[in-house]
Structure 1
Amino acid sequence: MSDPNVLLLLTDQERYDLTAPGSSVETQHVDRLREGGMTFERAYTPISICSAARASLLTGLYPHNHGMLNNCHEADAIQPNLPPGHPTFGELLAADGYHTAYVGKWHVGRDQGPGDFGFEYHGGADRHHDADLAGDFCTYREELGVSVDEADLEDAIYTDTGTLVAARDPVPVEATRPYYLAQQAIEQLREGLDEPFFLRVDLYGPHHPYVVPEPYASMYDPAEIDPPASYRETYAGKPAVHEQYLDYRGVRSFDWERWAEAIAKYRGFMTLIDDQIGRILDAAEGVEDLCTIHTSDHGDFTGNHRQFNKGPIMYDETYHIPLQVRWPGEVEAGSVCREFVSLHDLMPTFLDLAGVEIPDVDGRSIRPLLAGEIPTDWPDAHFAQYHGDEFGLYSQRMLRTAQYKYVHNGPDRNELYDIEADPNELGNLIDHPAYEGIRRDLEARLVERMEAVEDPIAPWTATAMGR
């Protein structure tokens, strides 16, 4: 069947384990998607930083090929906007006759917005990240009679460098941005979408600051949250940047009590978002031939390895992402896919669903997987990269297999983890003699993947590995 309606629900910095089976976080509406469709157990992002990951979703390309290597809103941005010349799924679907609509966060350029890439934009952007798109949410709050600034927040937690981490927001749920964005999406579903349509809803959060109102702010008791195994991190044998990031992010002084308070708000934020997803799903009931996808741009440390936010630290907490696809009649309810898929595989997938010719991209359509078919040449490992945050460039490349993870750090020592034996990635085995053969095999496979996608540092990486 061609030309289905598509609803994409993209969260911001949501870890895989928040909505995974067995999670202690209440996400009954994402659970609806999982129970009614397919869950991808090995979905990963190509890069764990917002602008670059979102540009990969739009283009189907790795960051080194689309050019947006780090966040676009800071002064050190490699590219303030997505470079021209890359086909995007919004433009291609619109050209094919889809009604393409967009609500919420953008963060793929300072001077361009969804309207420049084939979408009809319906508001909700963030004043910090997308200044020229902002204003509508502030007006909405004013109409509700709500005027709250940072000084009004309760139980606020700040990093040592002054970044707001979490707080209780003394506003009604209806005055939160997730509620507002859900309302904009609902209005589009009820009133303004011609079929076939592609509706993209980019929900802010659970990205920090984890600022949530009641009942979500006290929904999870910090006293009942146990430290994860990775909280025992010592950084022995790890690249120096790992420990340096405790100071860079300003969390070296955080003890477990403070982390537990922040994690409780992070979980409450996710449940708030899930309830808004539920409102959107309810509004979409009755839409025929609707394919609904929930995923995130990347994850969040929230205390794992004692880290905050994300960075040049390639643990699964920031690279493993949720992905559920519900498409009644086409995708088996309650099914599970264990193949490796990447966020930028969704771009060619959307085109494939619509019967649109797929341009030359790095991603690959997951439609065969949705049908329960595994192509014989489907990759058995995930390739990812990182290029740096606000402090400058820092080259990293990663190969993640079912059992192992290899990380090449251009400026520092490399990493090797046996995920089956050490799922928390605490012990770096890069110099362990028993793993020399495995290390050399992963190095060869990593260089091969880099060469296949024309990674410009592939020759230097191969030289550094002595290959």
Structure 2
Amino acid sequence: MPITSNAFHFRIIAASLLLLLLQGCTQESPSDTSRPNIVLVVSDQQHYQAFGAIDSFFSTPSLDELASESTLFTQAFVTSPQCSPSRSSLYTGYYPHKTRVIGNTGSIDAAGQRITRLDDSFRTIGEYLKPAGYVTAYIGKWHLGKPGKHAQGYDTRVFSTVKGGDSIPDRQKTRHALAFIDAMSSNPSKRPFALFLNYTAPHTIYEYGLKTPPEPIAALETNVHLPKSFYAEDNSQKPKSQTLYMKSDTGKLFYGKGEDIWKTYRGVYRKKVQDFDRELGKILDSLKTHDLMKNTLVIVTSDHGDMDTYHRLVFKGPFGYEQVIRVPLVVHVPKQFGGKTTYRENTFTVNVDLLPTILDFAGLPAGVGDGHSLKPLLIGNSNKKTRTEVVGEYYNKQKWVHPLRILRTDKYKYIDHLIGMDELYDLESDPQEIHNLIGDSNHTRIRKKLAERLNNWIVKQSDPFSTLSATDLKGRPLSPSVP
């Protein structure tokens, strides 16, 4: 389907969908009244605190309102703090070391081969739902290479996929989505629909600093306070990769700059989050206008976070801080499907849980991938599963390969860097992850225990972490003895 912003084109989308619906479903499926519509909205690079309901520094009225009538997960994590790996997990249900999308598309994998696309051997969510009778749409950022076979899982396909990940403005994505919702609202066959809508904001923070040298913007510095870790960070107690990122990689435009530049960064990021929330509001308003909220499962989340000046860092890189691996997650389950009105859930979740959750609500087998369905938890079923830990992965940044694994428990975070200093944080006494306890003799026992737990996960998952190699910024191999 060609991509334009012409209003006529959106009428064509609606007419084509109505024709499809009138043709009916050729495959037997569960009763349509027993299955909700599904809307999954994904922002890009929105950390868990970039949410007004969590931190009033941010203005997200649309997301706040949805959370007020939904389940808000406060401990939601992603498999990787990077676009392509995380998205491969979100849409297949598997960790990046299994999808083999271990870095952003275009980068080099562990075998020295370019990561071009998500392999056709994997099924994405639409490839489960469409054969089961759902009318499916994928709109917006894909960032998994050429869709190929995966495109067949979506009746409406507006994939935004170019080098760098995205080519369609967010407002245009909204117009495509609204056209789809309009068509579904007059659905003559009463077939359920599933819309997967992927925005770019607040990833658009990269416009500040990368397009032009960062300059202070007084209006955006208003009421901006830098986090405690900005002032307290001690790089001598942190992995050298952190300083290398700021001095010689993407952070170099901000390294050594005055507080006005850093405050402007936070101000710009706040605005980009607001841009996403504004588009989200249009989608939610449309669902309400068409009286679809009563039978639509709505999920809003993000693919990863942003450092947002925490630890004197910007954007994302070889880090395991909360700001890059923890994201918003709001799930609205209509009352007729057992949903709660307002609830805050502190159970650990990982984005591999979303595919089995959606399949479960769609009446399909949910035992897919590395996650588990959140449906029992969302509807108060006693058979709900919970985690005692979550694990995250990171491989590379363009040519720079710096593998690490992250183990997060209720109390501790342990980060195993393949090369260089590891990290250990007591999150109860140090929630901002300022004090690295990896060399503290008082924490030797817990460090060994966490390392063992992480290794057990690696072995169980057949994760090739220990066989990987690291490089310098230019992609030249480094010896394991390099600090």
The residue identity in structure 2 corresponding to 1:225 is: V
Q: Give 2:90's match in structure 1, choosing from 45, 57, 60.
A: 57
Is contact 1:218–1:268 with CA below 8 Å preserved after alignment? Answer: no
Amino acid at match of 1:190: D
Deviations 1:155-182 (A, max 9, x none): xxxxxxxxxxxxxxxxxxxxxx222222
User: C-alpha deviations, 1:393-437, integer Å up to 9, x for none?
Assistant: 222111101111000011112110011111111111011111112
Aligned equivalent of 1:304, options 306, 310, 316: 310
Instruction: Show the counterpart of 2:259.
Output: 256
Is 1:125 equivalent to 2:160 in the alignment? yes
CA distance in 2, matches of 1:206, 1:426: 25
Deviations 1:427-463 (A, max 9, x none): 11011111112112211211122222221236899xx
**Correspondence 1:72 to 2:75:** no
Q: Identify the residue that residue 229 of structure 2 maps to in structure 1.
A: 230
1:432 aligns with 2:427: no
Alignment check: 8 A CA contact 1:299 1:319 kept: yes
1:219–1:373: structure 2 CA closer, same or farther, 3 Å change rule? farther
Q: Kindly provide the CA deviation profile for residues 209-250 of structure 1, in whole angstroms up to 9, marking residues without a partner as x.
A: 3659xxxx9997414211101102121221110110102112
Q: How many residues align?
A: 414
1:314 is aligned to 320
Aligned partner of 1:10 in structure 2 is 42
Q: Distance in 2 between matches of 1:372 and 1:255?
A: 50
2:72 maps to 39
Task: Give the alignment partner of residue 25 of structure 1, picking from 40, 49, 58.
Answer: 58
Specify the code of the residue in structure 2 equivalent to 1:199.
L
| Distance (Å, rounded) in 1 between the aligned partners of 2:385 and 2:362 | 23
Tell me the amino acid that sits aligned with residue 57 of structure 1. L
TM-score scaled to structure 1, two decimals? 0.83
| Equivalent-residue separation in structure 2 for 1:328 and 1:340 (angstroms) | 22
Question: Contact 2:374–2:384 at 8 Å: present in 1 too?
Answer: no
Letter of the structure 2 residue corresponding to residue 274 of structure 1: D
Does structure 2 retain, via aligned residues, the 8 Å contact 1:122–1:184? no
Output the CA distance in 2 between the equivalents of 1:8 and 1:46. Answer: 18
1:202 paired with 2:198, answer yes
Q: Please state how far the C-alpha of 1:255 moved relative to its aligned partner.
A: 2.2
Contact 2:71 2:331 in 1 (8 A): yes
Kept in 1: contact 2:138–2:159 (CA 8 A): no
Aligned to 1:332: 340
Contact 2:89/2:95, CA 8 A, preserved across alignment: yes
Correspondent of 2:174 among 174, 182, 185: 182
Q: 1:280 corresponds to which residue?
A: 283
User: Match for residue 155 of structure 1?
Assistant: none
CA drift of 1:375 comes to 4.7
Q: 1:158 maps to what in 2?
A: none
Instruction: Supply the distance in 2 between the matched residues of 1:94 and 1:219 (Cα, whole angstroms).
Output: 50
- Give secondary structure in 2 for the equivalent of 1:86: coil
Percent identity between matched residues is: 30
> Which of 262, 265, 269 matches 2:268?
265
Contact in 1 for aligned 2:108/2:399 (Cα 8 Å): no
- Structure 1 partner of 2:18: none
Contact 1:382 1:399 (8 Å CA) reproduced:
yes
* 1:218 to 1:199, Cα distance in 2 relative to 1, 3 A: farther
CA deviation after TM superposition for structure 1 residue 376, in Å: 7.0
Q: 1:308 to 1:218 in 2, by over 3 A?
A: closer
- Output the CA distance in 1 between the equivalents of 2:397 and 2:165: 18
CA distance 1:218–1:291, change in 2 (3 Å): farther
Native 8 Å contact 1:103 1:124 kept in 2: yes
Q: What RMSD over aligned residues (CA atoms) do the two structures have, in Å?
A: 2.5
- Whichever residue aligns with residue 197 of structure 1, its letter is F
Match of 1:166 in 2: none
Q: Which residue of 2 aligns with 1:150?
A: none
Unmatched 5+ stretches in structure 2 = 1-32, 209-215, 470-479
Shift of 1:21: 2.7
Asked if 1:401 is matched to 2:433, the reply is: no
In 2, are the aligned partners of 1:106 and 1:113 still within 8 Å (CA)?
A: no
Q: C-alpha separation between the residues in 2 aligned to 1:343 and 1:188?
A: 25
Instruction: Specify the SS of the correspondent of 1:393.
Output: strand
Q: Distance in 1 between matches of 2:229 and 2:236?
A: 13
Deviations 1:369-408 (CA, angstroms, capped at 9, x unpaired): 1123465752111111111111232221111011110000
Partner of 2:286: helix, strand, or coil? helix
Deviation at 1:342, TM superposition (A): 0.5
- Structure 1: which amino acid aligns with 2:342? G
Could you give the per-residue CA deviations for residues 102-159 of structure 1, whole angstroms, max 9, x where no partner exists?
11111011x226952512344372654358xx5xx5xxxxxxxxxxxxxxxxxxxxxx
Give the distance between the partners of 2:207 and 2:447, measured in 1 at CA: 43
Q: How does 1:68-467 map to 2 (within 5 A)?
A: 68-74=101-107, 78-109=114-145, 111-112=146-147, 116=151, 118-123=153-158, 125=160, 127-129=162-164, 137=168, 177-192=169-184, 194=187, 195-209=191-205, 221-232=220-231, 233-247=233-247, 248-249=249-250, 250=252, 251-285=254-288, 286-287=291-292, 288-329=294-335, 330-373=338-381, 375=383, 378-457=386-465
Gap change, CA 1:196 and 1:28, over 3 Å in 2? same
SS of the equivalent of 1:241 reads: helix
Tell me the amino acid that sits aligned with residue 62 of structure 2: H
In structure 1, the gaps of 5 or more residues are: 138-176
Give the AA of the match of 1:293.
I
Cα distance in 1 between the residues matched to 2:434 and 2:217:
31
Give CA deviations for 1:69-101 in whole Å, capped at 9, x if unaligned.
101045777421112312221101111111110
- Kindly provide the amino acid, as one letter, of the partner of residue 296 in structure 2: L
